[in-house]
Amino acid sequence: RFEDGTVSFLDIIALKHGFDVLEKLTGGMEKIKQHTFALAHYTYTVLSNLKYANGAPVVRIYSDTDFRNPDAQGPIINFNVLDENGQVLGFSQVDSMASLHNIHVRTGCFCNTGACQMHLDISNEDIQRNLQAGHVCGDNIDLLDGRPTGSVRISFGYMSSFEDAQTFLNFIIATRLSNSDAEIPLQSVTKLPTESVPDDHLSFNKADELSPILQISDRELGNIPSEAETTGSWQPPEPEAESMRAAVSETAVPTCRKGGKPITVAKIYLYPIKSCSAFEVTEWPVGNQGLLYDRNWMVVNQNGVCMTQKQEPRLCLVSPSIDLKQKIMVIQAEGMDPISVPLEDNTGKEAVICESKVCSHRVKTYDCGERIAGWLSAFLGRPCRLIRQSSDMKSKSHQKNTKGLSSAKSISLSLVNEAQYLLINVASILQLKEHISARLKEPLEIEELIQRFRANIVISASESFEEEEWAEISIGALQFQVVGPCSRCQIICIDQQSGERNKEILQSLSAARGRKTNFGIYLMNQPFCSSFSDTLSVGSQVLPVLKENTEIQPPTSSEEKCSG
């Protein structure tokens, strides 16, 4: 009686056939329960006993049972990952790392705020404070004041296999433990022979063989201390004086920046086409949405959905450049003849205005024509089109009310995800480079790292990560306010010269920065009241104002950051 429209009678008719197929494949729900619980039981047992070298647990599992009774516990494990000091790593970071290993997890509160409050010890007052800080359901704000706002969940189904459980456990070990840290050695994770798992794990004709494959005997369980025994008496150790995390931690700068070498702009990049190659300049006009023509265009697939390097890494091989005198954008790629697109906005009678989405924001765009669509489709090997943000709709279609800005006006954005500008510091890059080089067989060049982080403004400062303590900066006559850190995603794993992926980059950043994958800061510039006459130039001095007595709010986008 609550059906909105016609009852789904076709799906109802299909139910019997679906249950029949499920019975044939698996032997029935009872066998599915045994199989999935055996997987969850095994994973829970190993996961709850993983420890760092100092005895600290690697995860904190949230459960009302001890995973011994399948009638009381389903095949789901809910947890948060901890560092060696017992601090929670944000679920967004765990999700980003898992995606690099082709593992899909669910994160957040799972539409169960009551259980979330109970297990995470979140009071009603905390919920209100989190909401006031900008946290909403589905966003990436995973930690507030060092406390988690949600957790990570893995689930097993009838098609899940023992190898799936092993893959997940090996992912946790690889990303959180060095070989010397793992008190439960890798052999413990793989002690059940993979040969015993059926080749076709979807064909369960011998239903009684479903669960014994993965069961752990009571004797084996008796030899492994319980989670309470392994974690109950552990206390966070005193922080060590020298460690990799300490070296690249979120250190504070003095309340008043001391004199020394001036901070200057070292490089300026714009990205005319979202997620394509950078266009480096020595000076460039500034508009009311950021650098002029920065991310004014984007590539969409045949369904009109924005394409980024996450789905198509070869976008980084598409190189646009802007010729202000000839008023054209020239696009080049290896093996293709250069093609040009006019800079003049073609919004007119012939242009078809369509609505597109950048993350959760709706933007008005128009198609740039068949010629460039064919060029891009030929290079990328899939149907796609180039669209441009409509200039007459910019102020209405993509705005952001940013807390902390002195003006009450909305800030107009181009096709960026978060803010008008992204700034990184060469000193921070050099600090990070040391740790990445220690993990990679071939060290990265500084220029390659800069390109991976896809910033608009690269500064040269004397202190690494001092930019994270800034509230405002001035560059010449331009005034910017910091609106939060940039939480990095898997795009930094893509070599911007070749399009090849290397997941070690994000893992190294995570290890070096401790609990977050932040790198760089977002900037907003106040809307101009006059014509766009200001320019940003390499060599200009940067004058920062520190955060003291200034409340800075993080971005509140519900989507992954830095995907363009």
Active-site residue set? 111
How far apart are alpha carbons 173 and 182 in whole angstroms? 7
DSSP string, 139-195: SS--EETTEES-EEEEE--TT--HHHHHHHHHHHHHHH--TTT-SS-HHHHT-S-GG
Sign of CA dihedral 313, 397, 375, 352: positive
Beta bridge partners of residue 264, listed in sequence order: 460, 541
Distance set, CA 391 to CA 17, 344, 397 (Å): 54, 10, 10
How far apart are alpha carbons 558 and 537 in whole angstroms? 33
Ranges of H-type helices in 382-475: 394-397, 426-439, 446-452
How do beta strands 353-358 and 478-487 pair?
Answer: unpaired
Please provide the distance, in angstroms rounded to a whole number, between the alpha carbons at the two ends of the chain.
46
Burial classification of residue 324, based on how many CB atoms lie within 10 Å of its CB (0-12 exposed, 13-18 middle, 19 or more buried): exposed
With CA atoms as reference, report the closest residue to 366 among 351, 377, 356, 350. Answer: 351
Give the start-end residues of each E strand in 324-417. Answer: 328-332, 339-342, 353-358, 361-367, 384-389, 399-400, 411-412
3-state secondary structure 67-130: CCCCCCCCCEEEEEEECCCCCECCHHHHHHHHHHCCCCCEEECCCCHHHHHHHHCCCHHHHHHH
DSSP string, 210-223: TTTTT---HHHHHH
Structure tokens at 222: 């008796």
DSSP for residue 504: H
Ranges of H-type helices in 27-49: 29-47
C-beta of residue 505 within 8 angstroms of C-beta of residue 493: yes
Order of strands, sheet of 384-389, starting from the edge strand that comes earlier in the sequence: 297-301, 384-389, 361-367, 353-358
Phi, psi angles (nearest 5°) of residue 530: -120, -170
Phi, psi angles (nearest 5°) of residue 71: -75, -20
113-120 vs 124-132: helix axis angle to the nearest 10? 110
With CA atoms as reference, report the closest residue to 274 among 413, 426, 378, 396. Answer: 413
